[in-house]
Chain A
Amino acid sequence: MRRLSAPLVISLLVLLLPLVVMFALGTGTVNISIVDIWQAIIGLFSSGSSSSSSNFSSSSQIHTILFDIRLPRILLALCLGVILAISGAVMQGLFRNPLADPSLIGVSGGASVGASIVIVMAGGWIQSGSALGLSAVAAGAFAGGFIATILVYRLATSEIGTSVTTMLLAGIAIGAIAGALNSLLSYFADNDMLRQISLWQMGNLSTANWSRVAMVAVVAALLVGLFPRDSRALNALLLGESEARHLGIDVQRVKRRLIVLTALGIGTSVAMAGMIGFVGLVVPHAIRLLIGPDHRWLLPGSALAGAILLIIADSLARVVVAPTELPTGILTALLGAPFFVALLIQRRREI
């Protein structure tokens, strides 16, 4: 295992992100060249003065595709990638386990039950794919995720403090209950609901619009703003909780803060896009292998890499079976899992 310089890797990721956004803007069922993208962007700032010689109707079509369809979706992928990867990095530090995943503490399971309940209960009026119906599903997912997290946290907290091991086990138990509830709901659901439930569980970014982007961006900004303040505390926590306390860290308060923020992040992401696996697990793990476990670098590195990975995965999801789309969650799993296996094999060889 040889490490790369953390500032170097992060600068590269910072440079890569806009390039990936540009690439994603141009990719889709209609390919748009870089030149056209540039013209459209410049057109935005020259306040719509369409005096250019180019064909007006085609440039307004490009404008619609770029800024009403693709850009919100890309920004949604960017923000969700940030949320999933940075939450994953925090969870792995908090649980002192480099293979921990946000779904471990029950958030994802609870959220998917919440979504399924809304889909099955609401029955008819969601089928139309109306904005109201989708928002109801999102609210259900968020509520489910939050309830699951609170349950797991309560189960693991005694007067001595919150036991991370108990929390992992409680997360597994809650996850099992959530799985059973999901199966039960699927069993009673009709064909149409069943399709919606399974689409939800595959993870999908196709519901992107500007108001969703705004919501997710606020949560992403909150996590990116607050998590790094606890970087040193997370570093100390890797030694163990009592060691961290002896280094002057208020472990209980830090844990509570991190768990609430993670639940908020994961709950929001499941609410907006369903279950998108592997980003929260693979990204922080890979970044740690590259630049080491220091959270002061790991958190920003994971956030950037998570955004890049999810944008690429979603762009591929839009084009691989064009003119239809694949659910993004399938793509992240297909890209993420082999990468993870490769990491495991490489690590096994080197240790």
Chain B
Amino acid sequence: MALMAENISLHISGFNLLRDVSMRVEPGTVTAIVGPNGAGKSSLLKVLTGEMIATTGQVSLNHQPLHTWALEQKAKMLAVLPQHTVLNFPFTADEVVALGRIPHQTGILKDELIVADALKAVDANYLQKRFYTQMSGGEKQRVQLARVLAQIWEPTQLGDQFLVLDEPTSAFDLSHQKLTLEIVRGLAEQGTGVVMVLHDLNLAARCADNLVVFDSGTISAQGSPEEVLTEALISQVFGVKSIIAKHPVTQKPLVIT
């Protein structure tokens, strides 16, 4: 089973935002989407998560067209972390994370345990009773990450689970960037399929099994980071000259610009 896009195109008011995009997110793998600003990465995520409907083509979740899943069932399998979440109400961190349990009927006691574990997983247990409105940008983003983790904390019989993250590390310092990638790898090891938009090519190379390079509404290249990241492709897509080296420890490609 998988999260799959088949030949999707998206036309909105005369603009071709996506052109004939096909990709497949397998459970237990991490897919990173990279590409220049305005390439259509966010549109792709919106179509992939059912927020927008493709003009042509189809998105399917676990062998069933995405829009035919009941919303609550879909929410048990697919969690989405947007780039920005504006929340102006003084919820405490654990209340925000508990919102991730809305699709489930697991009871207050169990939800409390999951909320506490999710906050611990993102190194935010010290925030538990603090007000969201008074947190720093990085703290807020960690709490939101904990919220989507809580949403898919336990496997469901409905099918494989997927997590979609739009630039999850943009507000994070180095240690929390690293923590996020560890969380993502950990989820993949437990069988979750992860898709994320990243801006840092080296972060993407380090943690992705499948790297999708996106440019002007279509996929320029996809495959393992070693296959995809070439000097020619980077100059073609980003218009930047670069050297591809090997990371001395992880042996993953290292893009030096």
Contact = CB atoms under 8 A, between A and B. Distances in A.
Given A1-B131, A294-B95, A247 B102 contact: yes
Contacts of B71: 245, 248-250
Contact of A292 (B73, B91, B100, B102): B91
Contact of B87 (A1, A239, A248, A249): A239
Contacts of B88: 96-98, 238
A246 interface: yes
Nearest to B71: A248
A232 B87 contact: no
Contact of B76 (A232, A248, A249, A351): A248
Nearest to A241: B51
Contacts of B87: 238-240
B82 A235 contact: no
Contact of A236 (B82, B86, B99): B99
Interface residues of B, number: 31
Secondary structure call for the A interface: loop
Nearest to B103: A248
A243 B164 CA distance: 12
A242 interface: yes
Contacts of B79: 246
B79 to A, nearest CB: 7
B96 to A, nearest CB: 8
Nearest to B84: A240
Contact of B89 (A232, A242, A293): A293
Given A240-B82, A292-B90, A292-B92, A235 B74 contact: no
Output the residue of B50, B73, B87, B134 with the most chain A CB within 10 A: B87
A87 B86 CA distance: 23
B91 A246 contact: no
Interface in A206-254: 232, 235-236, 238-240, 242-243, 245-250
A140 to B, nearest CB: 37
B180 interface: no
B99 A239 contact: yes
A292 B96 CA distance: 12
B85 interface: yes
B75 A246 contact: yes
Given A1-B90, A96-B88, A248-B71, A242 B99 contact: no
Interface string A83-118: 000000000000011100000000000000000000
Interface string B168-185: 000000000000000000
A97 B100 CA distance: 21
Nearest to B70: A248
A246 B131 CA distance: 23
Contact of B82 (A98, A243, A250): A243
Contacts of A239: 85, 87, 96, 99
B75 A235 contact: no
A18 B143 CA distance: 42
Given A242-B51, A246-B75, A248-B103, 11 more contacts: A96-B89, A236-B102, A238-B87, A239-B99, A240-B85, A240-B86, A246-B78, A247-B100, A248-B73, A248-B74, A292-B92
Interface of A: 1, 96-98, 232, 235-236, 238-240, 242-243, 245-250, 288, 292-294, 351
21 contacts: A1-B131, A96-B89, A98-B89, A232-B102, A236-B99, A238-B88, A240-B82, A242-B82, A243-B85, A245-B50, A245-B71, A246-B49, A247-B103, A248-B74, A248-B75, A248-B102, A248-B103, A249-B71, A288-B89, A293-B90, A351-B134
